[in-house]
A and B are shown apart, each in its own frame.
Chain A
Amino acid sequence: MNRAVDPPPTVGVRVPTDEQLIERAAALDPTAIDQLYERYKSMAYALAARITGDAGLAEDVVQDAFLGVWRNASRYMAARASARTWLLSIVHHRAIDAVRRRRPTSELPEADAPPPGALVVSDAWMEVAGRLDREAIVAALASLPDVQREAIELAYFGGLTQQEMAARTGAPLGTVKSRVRLGLLGLREALERAGAAGRGGGT
């Protein structure tokens, strides 16, 4: 099993897991959001800022995302993904949404973003590589061929659609699609290698 941050030496109070906090939020306990925010604010903000490139908008995204966690906590399904993955996927989703709305050329429906509960993100596979530190993930991404890495970054951090990526890079739609696919498969292999090495190396 992966170990999350070790709870501090006991003071008679057990540190709740992320999943327990989501459960408490679902039971309408606002302090659960307070605690989740403290745990993930820096990661959430960094992700939102990277995508939006705008400090103010990033804060709006983070607030919106945690409010989304609060409102949709009862729809969180632990079987699908860890609370961490779920929460960050909501941040990602809202940030992409904010960027697309800001982009004047895109035609977007005014409808609200689909509820986070509908997001399909699974990290069942994450068990394979386990929790890796940031440097290992950076290295895994850097190991990809440039065009594949660029395709993944434009999509995930740039909020570009396949069509927009094709326009941006001059590559045909089919090429964009296969770069993204090959990039993800290559990233998966690199992450697995890093996971295996991490387990072999102890700590």
Chain B
Amino acid sequence: MSQVRRLDCAAVADLAPLFVLGALPDDEAAAVRDHLATCPEAHAEVQELGGVAAYLAELPEPVEPSADLKGRLMTAVEADLAQRRLTASAPMPAPTPISLAAERERRRPIVTWRSALQAAAVLLIGVLAGWNLLLLGQASSAEQRAALLRQAVAVAGQPGAQVAGISGTDVQPAARGFVVLSPGGGTGYLVVDGLAAAPTGKVYQAWYVADDVARSAGLVTTADGLGILPLSTDQPVQVVALTVEPAGGSEQPTSPIVALGRVGG
């Protein structure tokens, strides 16, 4: 499969009818494509037969897809856009801050399952100790979570509050939720339900995205797929996004966005 057969012009002309209909095995189709991409000849037979084949696409009687397909598509497009902008604006191999998490990964010797667990536990303790404020957001008891949800709903109910839906991307299509920001902006809540349990050694991290720059909004712990995070920011926010990051979180997103919501222009 590594060595692609090279074709001459006559062979391409011979395969053209099958090629334009998509009836060649993948490797042969790739060989034809390679030839066409580099051949100085016009290969009119491929052009013409390709034109005939194009009419076949018009044959099936049009049928409406289900209404929610558009929402799924546009969520995927928005996520791709956010992702591309972040990657484009992420500091290239800059001399400045490398991801703390990546650095930890790099320094960690060969990891056994047990040592990974221990490391994760140590990290978790460190995180918990350092993020007193976040303790609120990582409320474990049902009562605490209910209290946070009530506060989120209370903020959402204020006149002038910003409320935006959160949808899962292809990575986690089941994720759903909302972001609320207080009328003056600044504080609010991120509520996401339907999240898969984070893989061992990983956490969910939320991001404020504005002008193609991501800032951490904090780590989100989940229970039964539900994650709630108090938000606090003094800068404008356009998008709130969620990614899976190594335990302890990252400086910048390092994995595909699993859910996002557009808060403002």
Contacts and interface: CB of A to CB of B under 8 A. Distances in A.
Q: Does chain A bind chain B? A: yes
Interface string B59-86: 1111111100110111011101100110
Contact of B59 (A138, A165, A188): A138
A137 B76 contact: no
A160 B23 CA distance: 6
Classify the secondary structure of B's interface with A.
Answer: helix
A160 B21 CA distance: 10
Contacts of B140: none
B33 interface: yes
Contacts of A188: 48-49, 52
Contact of A155 (B18, B65, B80): B18
Contact of B73 (A66, A108, A140, A155): A66
Interface string B133-177: 000000000000000000000000000000000000000000000
A81 B21 contact: no
Nearest to A43: B62
A83 interface: no
A10 to B, nearest CB: 27
Interface stretch (B24-32, B119-127, B197-205, B226-234): B24-32
Q: Is the interface of A mostly helix, strand, loop or mixed?
A: helix
B27 to A, nearest CB: 7
Contact of B61 (A122, A126, A134, A184): A134
Contacts of A58: 65
Interface of B: 1, 14, 17-27, 29-30, 33, 36-37, 46-66, 69-70, 72-74, 76-78, 80-81, 84-85
